[in-house]
Amino acid sequence: MSIPSTTQEYYYPKLGSYRNLKIREQPVKKPHANEVLVKVHAVSLQYRDFAISNRSYPVAPESDLVPCSDMSGEIISVGEDVKDWKKGDRVCANFSTDHLYGDTDPKIIATSLGGQSPGVLTQYRTFPDHALVHIPKHLSYEEASTLPCAALTAYDALYGPKPLKAGDTVLVLGTGGVSIFALQFAVAAGAVVIATSSSDEKLKISAKLGAKHLINYKKTPKWDQEVSKITNGRGVDHVIEVGGQGTLPRSISAARIGGSVHDSADSDIVLPLISKAITVRGIYISSVAKFKDMNRLIEANPDKTKPVVDKVFPFEKAVDAYAHLESQSHVGKIVIKVSKD
């Protein structure tokens, strides 16, 4: 493949709404010595992308931002000092390109794609060679694009300080990307999953993916009490908490004494945590090392961990993809197909 001279990319002339997105043509940057040039095949959306667009997640510049953090693609050129990658390799980039292992810090967070640093909703982009991981061989580009944020957040939650083990009980809230991946990883590990949703149709999908117990929280508003009944009063070992202030009190109530609530939403409730000795751990995605570990789990359990892609939009319809995200009618992930081949 010849190296293109230009790339089509989406950008925000000004933040405020995803409907402000425009397409422009930019020169393709030649990779530096320790960089690779990637042809982006697919990009998946997450709630952070929507929140950045309307300024409710204030981490990005007010204008000229290329959005989105989660991509999959094909290496088409490598810098002169790159040793571990070659042309044709199928890759994903990590959410924070400098988060290689261990804890994060302000300098690493500054490399978070689609917010603190330019994003991936473009046809071609350079990346540091250390930021990339191989795509599991059995996944399509569209499926692989769902891994960097949603899948890795779920994996880091379940395999953090108190790693998930067979026989544990896991409560997943809703049917968005993080919750669906957590459900799949928990089932693959032999755990018992309790899934919640406001939709019986979405709960049917959770059941097909392996959830043993289903709770419609519109029909059962005190769903934490239902979780207590299901677990014979013990509570669950792990809660995948994505609702923030609206759900955190019940998530804490649903956890067992000494359990873990894994929170990727905003919240500031403390006293109930002390009374139950619960660990609430904020999840800021994870590292390249954890990404590689997760991919080994996916490759070892291909049927149980196949990414759930709700809908794929063409590159020209990116605004429609954001609208579908805003509707909250999806199960799993929404993907934008960037490449036509």
Residue 75 and residue 197 in one domain: no
pLDDT in tens, 247-283: 999 999 999 999 999 988 765 666 677 667 778 888 8
Confidence class for position 154, pLDDT limits 50, 70, 90: very high
Confidence class for position 1, pLDDT limits 50, 70, 90: low
pLDDT in tens, 67-108: 999 999 999 999 999 999 999 999 999 999 999 999 999 999
CATH of the domain at 210: 3.40.50.720
The whole-number pLDDT of residue 267 equals: 59
Give the CA angle between residues 160, 163, 169 to the nearest 5°. Answer: 120
Residue 62 and residue 13 in one domain: yes
Residue 142 and residue 161 in one domain: no
In angstroms, the CA 155 to CA 39 distance is 27
Residue 124 and residue 180 in one domain: no
> Nearest-CA neighbor of 16 among 65, 62, 67?
62
Residues 6+ apart with CB under 8 A from 3: 28, 37, 76, 77
* Domain encompassing residue 205: 152-282
Model-level pTM? Answer: 0.91
Secondary structure of residue 196 in the 3-state scheme: strand
Residue 294 placed within a domain: no
Residue 297 placed within a domain: no
Residue 94 and residue 219 in one domain: no
Q: Answer yes or no: is pLDDT of 35 > 90.
A: yes
Secondary structure of residue 87 in the 3-state scheme: coil
Confidence class for position 286, pLDDT limits 50, 70, 90: very high
Q: How many domains does the chain have?
A: 2
Residues 6+ apart with CB under 8 A from 237: 162, 164, 168, 169, 170, 191, 255, 256, 259, 260
CATH of the domain at 105: 3.90.180.10
The whole-number pLDDT of residue 75 equals: 98
